[in-house]
Structure 1
Amino acid sequence: MASGARNTARTGLARLGFSAPTDAEPFLIEFEEEIGIGRERILDVASVAADPDDALASLARIARRDAAAVKRLSDDSAGWRSLWALLGASSGFAEFYFRHPEELADLRGGVSRLPTRDELRDGLLDSVDASDGFASDGGEEAWVRLRVRYRRYLARIAVHDLLSASPVDEVAVVAACLADAAGAALEASLAVARTRVSGGASGVGLFPREQVARTRLAIIGMGKTGARELNYVSDVDVIFVAGADDELLDELGESRVVDIATRLAVQTMRGISGVEIEPPLWEVDANLRPEGKQGALVRSLDSHLSYYDRWAKSWEFQALLKARPIAGDTALGDEYVRAVQPLVWASAARENFVDSVQRMRERVTEHIPADEVPYQLKLGPGGIRDIEFTVQLLQLVHGLADDQIHQRGTLPALDALVAEGYIGRTDAAAFANDYRVLRLMEHRGQLRRLSRTHLMPSDPDELRVLARSTKLAPSGSEIRARWEAIKREVRDIHVRLFYRPLLAAVASLSPDDHALTTDQARDRLAAIGFSDPAGALRHIAALTSGLSRKASIQRHLMPVLILWFAEGVDPDYGLLAFRRLSERLGDMPWFLRMLRDSSGAAERLTRVLSGSRYVGDLMEWIPESAAWLDDPSLMRPRSGVALQEEARAIQTRHATIADAMRAVRALRRRELLRTAMWAIVGDATIEDVSGALTTITEVTIQATLRAVRREVVPPEDDALDFSVIAMGRFGGEELGFGSDADVMYVYRPNGLDPERANRLALKLVHGLREHSEDARVPLDLDAELRPEGRSGPLARSLEAYGEYYRRWSVSWEAQALLRARGVAGSVKLIRAFMELADEVRFPASVDPQGIREIKRIKARVENERLPQGTDPTRHLKLGRGSLSDVEWLVQLWQLQHGHRVPGLRTTSTLGALKAARDAGLVSPADAQRLGEAWRLASRLRSANTLLSGQTSDVLPSDRERLDGIGRLLMYPPHSATQVEEDYLGTTRRARRTFDKLFYG
């Protein structure tokens, strides 16, 4: 083949999904030249294979075994397509068809529907030639025939599943069909067992045929089998119940009847799971029986009920919730289920029921090998078991009084719980969809090699195959991302429902107030969502070890503290921060007394530590701040006068600027922490918080300027006036956590040489910037709003400002002055500068060209200043309907009408908006929409910083961060979607108002 032709062929193969087109070429040649199937015929359905490379290689291997069988099927379009789908998703089926190429014929015509329960039962009984409950042959050959026939039906189920347009929507019916197939296989194996036990062909002949025939054995399906939610290859959990008619019981006695039934049960299990020529189907697991592995394999109905009445543990009743007769004596099975159902639904009244069920879930999690936890679809945090346990617990707690929720299956139970009001529709819909997706991923993992697995693939190629076979995502990385998102969502809902106090209250339980042992703590941590249980355990051990009074108090408090941390945004960080704080405070009596005697303070402490890295980092350096949580008045920000007095006192105590500024930085950090704690657990509004942060920043700049001036300006030059003008959100007293402080610098020589005055002013500027720096809580004095922006001088004289504004000022500079406000330095100079600013920002007549220019700049800002790749609907500052939209619109009104409307002459955005409303410039409804958007964007911006300790202007898309932000804004737990919807809806409405009023 020419080079160009080869390249074209490889490209075509790649389009069909082949990952190694070069490796496929020899197989295609083999089919064409040795088997007689054309390349076009081979490849025309290759795209249905999740792994075409594997499918082609497997097909070639089967063809070498029986080329005629493969060639015959290739002539049948539907069958050929079915085979490619199977081999592309399952190397296990490739092995099956290699062992039994004659079974390919069953795929002819494709699969139009799933087999019914009766078809499965009749077909599998036919495979062992069963009649009157006995197989014609009790030898191993009967089991081989049974297993081959079972896999024939399994192939039909898999084809239907793989070729469906939306496999996730087929999960429930596929799982039900698999459960029916398992029941039918057990029925057929039991028929073989009866023949073997009674001495039929190749049988062992332990008991007379008549006695075996009259012995009743019911096989009860448990777990997923009972719920008709079975996987492709999963343990089939069963319980065996023995019985007989009265005459046989009188003749043989119960023990001999149970003995016969036990022999039948053993042989039935062996027919499914024993090692034979044809591999086992799955493991028959009878460990859910009374006393588990230590108990009798088979019991009579009375023996079962006696055990449940006297010794059964709560988890055993939970296991019985899904019990269903699946094979054997149906009447006896129904009698068993009717007898145990009242016990199941009364179990929630047992002492400590909810706690015991929760612990069962936690123990399951504990037994996951550490290296499997990140890949566990079933047992890991956010996996299938979280959904099942949550649903079952809710059923058991409420099922005593409400029989409408007596459902075996998870999805039907969810529907019933919603209908009866025990789960919200949103949570239930999320749970149901996530359950289907997780089960589909689990199904495809097991189908791959027809082996039991519950792990997400880690290999990129296997992830790609999983994505193709599930049709859930276009690539392996995207299906992995979807899985991670589902885990977070499931875990959120599970923790909220699984541990909510209502469950214990409904079950009439007392609170769990015992001290945690290490094992219990590990169980609880894994169950309630700590992402690093091992690290959390180390922190707990450090906090509770020893004989000190502090360790004793913390051992007593740890159970409730852990639960409070778990209810927070970041339990791991909260616990770590608590440990650091505890170590810094040592055995301080007030701290221990607060933890022990003031539950409100202790709960608030866990809330701020788990909810805010900003607070946690500062508290480590200011540990005495924990005392504020016990007295709400101590959390309220101090007045500007009080802070000024403290700052002035600092300067009298410290001779050097380095010492003075170290103390000023400590003051600022302390007051920022106080304000942050107040914002999280107090009753602060965004205006309150902004005002407090602005005051702290003003006092810091004033104190810094005094210290710098004392060092920079000699006594002979003291006539120099110098002032700092606040701009932007600083000028508007609208600072948030992490906001820059926009400023301008102005000076007046007052007789000094102009050149010298300028040099001194620049030294003051540089000193301010140098000594205000704080690596722990940065304070950025940003002078970019000065005339000419970055190109202009850092400081100008008052005369230079006046000359510039008269001759060269452009519209945006007048706009910037709208929020100019003097905050530090010479009061007289500030007054003079503000008079100059008023002339520029509130002109008697407005230049229409200037207004047009402002509108043009606003449009350019939206297009050019928004960071590349940022969703414009999520940017809190520059996005649509966010801060800048509201501020630019209000500032436009101020420029146009500020001269005649005194209320507009304010640096406050909300104050000016209110004045505009009062003056009739904007309707009350539009003003309300704009104000709501501005407040919400400001709150989200500050909350984002509080949560992460880092400044960001983008509303995160990560659900955990969104939820954390929501919690800081007093949303209920797990409100990420609501936060997002509230912001997008609010800003969408504000944007419509902005477009109408700004551009219209």
Structure 2
Amino acid sequence: MMPTRQLIAAGFDDLERAKRFLADKELIGLDLGVLVGHLSHAADPDQALLSLLRVIEHAPDALKLVKDPSLAPGFMRLLGASDALAGFLIREPSALQVLAAPAPQVMRGRSAMELRAELLRAVGADPSAGMPPVATARGEDGYRMLRVAYRRAVLSLAHRDLGAADALEAMPAVGRELADLAAAAIDGALAISRAEAAERFDPADIADLRLAVIGMGKCGAQELNYVSDVDVIYVHSSDRLEDELAHTIATELAVGISRAIDSSGIEPGLWEVDANLRPEGKDGALSRTLESHAAYYARWAASWEFQALLKARAIAGDALLGAAYEAMVAPLIWSSSERDGFVDSVQRMRRRVTANIKPSEVAFQLKLGPGGLRDVEFTVQLLQLVHGRVDETLRVRSTTKAIEALSMAGYIGRDDAQKFDSSYRFLRVLEHRIQLVNLRRTHLMPHKEAGQRVLARAVRSSVGGKISTAAGLLQRWSETKRLVRQLHERIFYRPLLSNSANLSADEVRLSPEAAQSRLRALGYADPKAAMRHIEALTGGVRRRAALQRQLLPVLLGWIAEGVNPDAGLLGFRRLSESLGESHWYLGMLRDSNAAAERLCRILSNSRFITDLLEVSPESTAWLGDNKQLIPLSYEALWAEISAKLKRNPAAEQAMRLIRLVRRREILRIALADGAEAIDQDTVGRALAENDRAAVRGALEVAQRTEFAKTPQLGEFLVVAMGRQGGKEIGYCSDADVMFVQRPFKDSSPEDAQAQALRIATAVGSLLGKAMVPAIAAEPRLEIDAALRPEGKSGPLVRSIESYEEYYRRWSQIWEQQALLRAAPMAGSETLAEDFMAMVQPLRYEQVMGEEQVREIRRIKARVEAERLPRGAEPERHLKLGRGSLSDVEWLVQLIQLQHAKEHPDLRTTSTRPALKAIGAAGIIPEADLETLDTAWSLATRIRSAGLICTGRVSDVLPTSWPDMEAVARWCGYAPGEASVMEDDYLKATRRARNVFERYFYGFED
């Protein structure tokens, strides 16, 4: 009796049945321990043992294979993998000879010529005959001979496939041999069909009729499954027959092929010969002449038909006619992507395939479902069709070779290609193993755990033996589906495909004549200079140049959509040269749905960002990942700066690193702004928090330097004022601040004041002076303390007691107004708490008298009269002009001074939240507040856009068209709408000025 433990170790499920079968009389004399060891090689030992007994019963010679230790494992693998092939051995015991040699561990395929000759001889046809081969066998006998020969060949292939050490490596060779075997079967069936047709037609007419069979789909691509419909198209020709007779005979031969392959009989049919991909499908003629095919494809064919023709290959029948067909369709295939809406139509077709899956099958689909074989095939085919019109290296049929070609040429990244290839091979191996069981066409994962467990054992060699359980198989399949779907969605729907398809072949090739003509049409002012940039980017044979040749035809169009295409292309060249051979850069532009278009728009619209990118080119990576564009929080920034300070005690190096962090974050914010990943309020907050972290870092450096010379004599605080305190600054805004100090109890007040003054001066110097060596394209941060008591005439630093006394005794109303935006920025937290507690009553709890209101109005009028630059138009000044930033902010601050005591929601340092609080309190109607908010927001946006686009700080609405157009684009206006933006701004500020005058100068308590 065989030990149960040994049977379990061998993988048996039904132990009692296994013991009973092992005691069968057919196995008497065998070493059962050795036999069970051989059976352990089978994916399904239970099925292998049952099939073994059945085969031995009909073919006793099978025992020779069992007794040979070199042959038995391969025999058991076959019996445990395919019940259908075991049944074939029962029907054809002589086929056991196929298994009389060990299966090599490395898959060795048989040639197409060898297979064709073997199947033709099986039906009594001469494969070497000059005339079309004609079978001597016909009818049921002929069909049986052909099918038996075919299945013997499949038996041989399955034996070698199952014995291969690496099933993934063997998969392409298996698919190729299956396709060649199918082609040989069709040639054999055609030989039978010719013999049968001779009974109805003149043999001379049949000999004159040339028929070519064109393989489509997986057969044409030489990547056929074990069981699959073989898609074909028939082409016929005749030198002397009338068209009608030629068509009749061709149709008869085509019908005869299907009958020989798949009609019912003693030996079951092989597979369906499917001619539905022919012109007009089921409604079209079964066979056409070459000229008829050409006329149809030229006038009537749909886009999907050209995608199908990508796999077209002459597989049987007249070789010369088949070659002529291939030559006829090739130009049509490789120009098909130029058809209107081609890419969209392919993408829609893929979605339809997914949508039409039966709901009950979605979770089990290997082929059609999300992350299945079709996702790989559609992606690869679309890339081939779009880029293959100019790149002949892509004109291959099989999916694995196409993936390799796409990777070599740079259309898919190397890593993505490897993942696509290995995933595709794994899915195909699963499909092969599932189909081998019953030799039936199926693409569904087994529903039951037992079937999944058998499949897991069947594919162990394809994944290095890592899968042995149903759970392990399902996990690997799930991971594969997820990976394939991610790659499919990222590559299949990449915008470059649609844009590339819309270009002519000359435009894609970037030939000098076509390129210069296109550059002029696109709006490049200096096409010759642009061509020099293009030649510098695309010259050579390196992978980078190849990728640039793919990208530039589309990128040139996107760059030209900006205001300054010439500057944009120059910026792109400099950026590309800075990044050199960086593996991610061009791959990101090729693969990302957003990065390429964002970068082109930014380079041709923003000199400021282009300059920053040139010195920080690695930051371009953020454009491909919205998460990377999210501005860092103050806490994250300070953690980074604090770590750098600890590692770099030298003041100059520490300060250099702080300023590098600040520059990097300004670039991140600007890129996010240009990519519309953040809104205007977020821009202001992020810039303010970035400056706050830099000021705190500078304060740490200044104090560390000072305290190394003199012991610390007191606490120090930097208070943010103005728009900095309100966290609504723009790019390169000054930092409005006040400096506060408080001596320690045992320190001299005079010495503490002197130390605090040195620290305050050092902070401004560290942030404002040029670094050595210089930091390229650095946006400087100027410290402005003009809002302190007494303005520039007052001390730069005061003690908290001095502030308190000054505000109590001498402060003017404008100084209380300035405190409305005060907020701690850096320094002592306890001093910050005490200072804010001290100023709180001054800004929010005072009772405004009429005299104070008149003083605020007087000061505002004086600011308008004196601070507006000479010659500036009040209607166009963004900061001090009529209805602009100053008007809105002064009105808000006046209302805060008057009403914040009874309305706590007004106690905010930011303008827009204050406007909302004013509306909630019912102080000003919502319509008027909306007018103020619109004007303030548009002025803020235009002011920042001016610096972003031109690289110059300006507080005036641009007057030159290029600057106005660039600013308008940045602000979200469509191309050519600079005047619309100008009208919007003038209208918004005019209305805001009316609201301002009504409430600021006419307000009554």
Using the size of structure 2 for normalisation, the TM-score is 0.50
- Asked if the contact 2:26–2:57 (Cα under 8 Å) also holds between the matched residues in 1, the reply is no
1:495 to 463, 469, 489: 489
Residues 50 and 336 of structure 1: CA distance in aligned 2, closer, same or farther (over 3 Å)? same
2:44 matched to which residue of 1? 51
2:405 matched to which residue of 1? 416
2:234 aligned with 1:240, yes or no? yes
| Structure 2 counterparts to residues 400-479 of structure 1, below 5 A | 400-471=389-460, 472=463, 473-479=467-473
2:357 aligned with 1:357, yes or no? no
Residues 309 and 24 of structure 1: CA distance in aligned 2, closer, same or farther (over 3 Å)? same
* Amino acid in structure 2 at the alignment position of 1:100: E
* Amino acid in structure 2 at the alignment position of 1:129: G
- Asked if the contact 2:116–2:184 (Cα under 8 Å) also holds between the matched residues in 1, the reply is yes
- Asked if the contact 2:634–2:689 (Cα under 8 Å) also holds between the matched residues in 1, the reply is no
Q: Secondary structure at the match of 1:326?
A: strand
1:303 matched to which residue of 2? 292
Distance 1:679 1:412 in 2: 49
Distance 2:260 2:173 in 1: 26
1:783 matched to which residue of 2? none
Q: C-alpha deviations, 1:560-600, integer Å up to 9, x for none?
A: xxxxxx979xxxxxxxxxxxxxxxxxxxxxxxxxxxxxxxx
**TM-fit CA distance, 1:432:** 0.9
* Amino acid in structure 1 at the alignment position of 2:176: A
Distance 1:440 1:18 in 2: 23
**TM-fit CA distance, 1:474:** 2.6
2:22 matched to which residue of 1? 28
Distance 1:467 1:509 in 2: 47
Q: Secondary structure at the match of 1:237?
A: strand
2:8 aligned with 1:11, yes or no? no
Residues 691 and 140 of structure 1: CA distance in aligned 2, closer, same or farther (over 3 Å)? farther
1:105 to 97, 100, 109: 97
1:118 matched to which residue of 2? 113
Q: C-alpha deviations, 1:436-473, integer Å up to 9, x for none?
A: 11111111111121111111223222222112111131
* Amino acid in structure 2 at the alignment position of 1:384: L
2:32 aligned with 1:39, yes or no? yes
**TM-fit CA distance, 1:236:** 0.8
Distance 2:75 2:682 in 1: 63
**TM-fit CA distance, 1:72:** 3.2
**TM-fit CA distance, 1:83:** 1.8
2:263 matched to which residue of 1? 274
**TM-fit CA distance, 1:78:** 3.7
2:215 to 221, 233, 250: 221
Q: C-alpha deviations, 1:832-871, integer Å up to 9, x for none?
A: xxxxxxxxxxxxxxxxxxxxxxxxxxxxxxxxxxxxxxxx
| Structure 2 counterparts to residues 793-804 of structure 1, below 5 A | none
- Asked if the contact 1:217–1:261 (Cα under 8 Å) also holds between the matched residues in 2, the reply is yes
Q: Secondary structure at the match of 1:123?
A: helix
1:211 matched to which residue of 2? 205
Distance 1:190 1:277 in 2: 20
Q: C-alpha deviations, 1:902-921, integer Å up to 9, x for none?
A: xxxxxxxxxxxxxxxxxxxx
- Asked if the contact 1:116–1:177 (Cα under 8 Å) also holds between the matched residues in 2, the reply is yes
- Asked if the contact 2:42–2:76 (Cα under 8 Å) also holds between the matched residues in 1, the reply is yes
| Structure 2 counterparts to residues 266-665 of structure 1, below 5 A | 266-471=255-460, 472=463, 473-508=467-502
Q: C-alpha deviations, 1:129-171, integer Å up to 9, x for none?
A: 1134111121211111111111111011111111111111111
* Amino acid in structure 1 at the alignment position of 2:36: L
Structure 2: gaps of 5 or more residues: 505-591, 595-621, 636-676, 694-826, 838-1005
Residues 264 and 162 of structure 1: CA distance in aligned 2, closer, same or farther (over 3 Å)? same
Residues 445 and 689 of structure 1: CA distance in aligned 2, closer, same or farther (over 3 Å)? farther
Q: C-alpha deviations, 1:185-214, integer Å up to 9, x for none?
A: 111111111111112xxxxxx112221122
1:849 matched to which residue of 2? none
* Amino acid in structure 1 at the alignment position of 2:393: Q
| Structure 2 counterparts to residues 754-773 of structure 1, below 5 A | none
2:74 aligned with 1:82, yes or no? yes
- Asked if the contact 1:352–1:509 (Cα under 8 Å) also holds between the matched residues in 2, the reply is no
Distance 2:61 2:196 in 1: 35
Distance 2:321 2:435 in 1: 33
Q: Secondary structure at the match of 2:24?
A: helix
Distance 2:687 2:36 in 1: 64
1:129 matched to which residue of 2? 124
Structure 1: gaps of 5 or more residues: 200-205, 511-565, 569-606, 613-628, 638-675, 693-819, 831-1000
- Asked if the contact 2:26–2:53 (Cα under 8 Å) also holds between the matched residues in 1, the reply is no
- The size of the alignment, in residue pairs, is 536
Distance 1:374 1:243 in 2: 47
- Asked if the contact 1:242–1:301 (Cα under 8 Å) also holds between the matched residues in 2, the reply is yes
Residues 822 and 27 of structure 1: CA distance in aligned 2, closer, same or farther (over 3 Å)? farther
**TM-fit CA distance, 1:342:** 0.5
Q: Secondary structure at the match of 2:316?
A: strand
* Amino acid in structure 2 at the alignment position of 1:82: G
Distance 2:328 2:52 in 1: 52
Distance 1:140 1:102 in 2: 20
**TM-fit CA distance, 1:36:** 4.2
Higher Cα radius of gyration: 2
- Asked if the contact 1:117–1:180 (Cα under 8 Å) also holds between the matched residues in 2, the reply is yes
- Asked if the contact 2:179–2:219 (Cα under 8 Å) also holds between the matched residues in 1, the reply is yes
2:84 aligned with 1:92, yes or no? yes
Residues 681 and 381 of structure 1: CA distance in aligned 2, closer, same or farther (over 3 Å)? farther
Residues 443 and 690 of structure 1: CA distance in aligned 2, closer, same or farther (over 3 Å)? farther
Distance 1:506 1:159 in 2: 46
Distance 2:94 2:475 in 1: 41
Root-mean-square deviation over aligned CA pairs:
3.6
* Amino acid in structure 1 at the alignment position of 2:210: R
- Asked if the contact 2:116–2:185 (Cα under 8 Å) also holds between the matched residues in 1, the reply is yes
- Asked if the contact 1:58–1:91 (Cα under 8 Å) also holds between the matched residues in 2, the reply is yes
- Asked if the contact 1:361–1:389 (Cα under 8 Å) also holds between the matched residues in 2, the reply is yes
* Amino acid in structure 1 at the alignment position of 2:88: F
Q: C-alpha deviations, 1:603-650, integer Å up to 9, x for none?
A: xxxx9xx999xxxxxxxxxxxxxxxx9xx99x999xxxxxxxxxxxxx
Residues 148 and 690 of structure 1: CA distance in aligned 2, closer, same or farther (over 3 Å)? farther
Q: C-alpha deviations, 1:304-343, integer Å up to 9, x for none?
A: 1110011001110111111111111111100100011011
Q: C-alpha deviations, 1:952-980, integer Å up to 9, x for none?
A: xxxxxxxxxxxxxxxxxxxxxxxxxxxxx
Distance 2:686 2:332 in 1: 53
Distance 1:823 1:509 in 2: 66
Q: Using the TM superposition, name which of 96-105 and 395-404 deviates more.
A: 96-105
2:156 aligned with 1:161, yes or no? no
Residues 46 and 821 of structure 1: CA distance in aligned 2, closer, same or farther (over 3 Å)? farther
Q: C-alpha deviations, 1:60-96, integer Å up to 9, x for none?
A: 2223334x23223323334432221111111221222
| Structure 2 counterparts to residues 569-968 of structure 1, below 5 A | 688=689
**TM-fit CA distance, 1:480:** 1.1
Q: Percentage identity across aligned positions?
A: 46
- Following TM superposition, the consecutive aligned residue runs of length 4 or more in structure 1 with deviations greater than 4 angstroms are 676-692, 820-828
- Asked if the contact 2:26–2:56 (Cα under 8 Å) also holds between the matched residues in 1, the reply is no
Q: C-alpha deviations, 1:741-779, integer Å up to 9, x for none?
A: xxxxxxxxxxxxxxxxxxxxxxxxxxxxxxxxxxxxxxx
Distance 1:216 1:493 in 2: 45
Q: Secondary structure at the match of 1:259?
A: helix
Q: Secondary structure at the match of 1:104?
A: helix
Distance 2:302 2:284 in 1: 14
* Amino acid in structure 2 at the alignment position of 1:144: R
**TM-fit CA distance, 1:38:** 3.5
Distance 2:680 2:86 in 1: 63
* Amino acid in structure 1 at the alignment position of 2:361: E
**TM-fit CA distance, 1:677:** 7.4
